[in-house]
Homo-oligomer: A and B are copies of this chain.
Amino acid sequence: MPSDIENKCIKRGLRLTDQRKLIAQVMSESEDHPDVDELHNRVNKIDSKISIATVYRTVKLFEEAGIVAKHDFKGNKARYEQTTEEHHDHLIDINTGEIIEFVNEDIEKLQKQVAEKLGYKLVDHRLELYGSKNKK
């Protein structure tokens, strides 16, 4: 069965190679935010011949097609996740590296307002919170 991402590739007319199908599948199944190395490891468990260059190229292709999102969190290499319908931002646990997604409409609205007030149309934004777990 074609993965979620594979279907999007078809919809966008991307040529579907075995490598792309597999990367699409692995990304679709990933619940976290893997970097390219990690993605490469995961696909290599299934097909050990896929090169890291292909993973880089594919992930970039998917990103440009709006199928996956790239994140450059502080101090780390780029991480990827499947694009979701609903926008969200991230909180990064500075101790464990764990990434928690959150949605906050108020902040979204305020961002737009700030941009407007400065004479700009908000095209994109980046909001990342870095925190450490409260001990109870």
List chain A positions with a Cβ less than 8 A from chain B: 72, 74, 91, 93-94, 100, 102, 104, 106-107, 110-111, 114-116, 118-134
A-B contact pairs, 16 of them (CB 8 A): A94-B124, A107-B107, A107-B111, A111-B127, A114-B129, A115-B131, A116-B134, A119-B134, A120-B129, A120-B132, A120-B134, A122-B130, A124-B130, A124-B131, A125-B127, A125-B129
Q: Are B125 and A132 within 8 A (Cβ)?
A: no
Contacts of A130 in B (CB 8 A): 122-126
Question: How many Å from the CB of A49 to the closest CB on chain B?
Answer: 32
- Taking CB atoms, residues of chain B closer than 8 Å to A133 are 119-121
Contact, CB under 8 Å: A120 / B93: yes
- Most chain B beta-carbon neighbours within 10 Å: one of A116, A118, A134: A118
Copies of this protein in the assembly total: 2
Docked complex Cα distance between A128 and B121 (Å):
13
Instruction: Evaluate contact between A114 and B104: CB separation under 8 angstroms.
Output: yes
Residue of B nearest to A112 (CB): B129
The 4 closest A-B pairs by CB, nearest first: A120-B131, A124-B130, A126-B128, A115-B131
Across the interface, which residues of B come within 8 angstroms of A120, CB to CB? Answer: 91, 93, 129, 131-134
Alpha-carbon separation in the docked complex, A122 to B116 (Å): 27
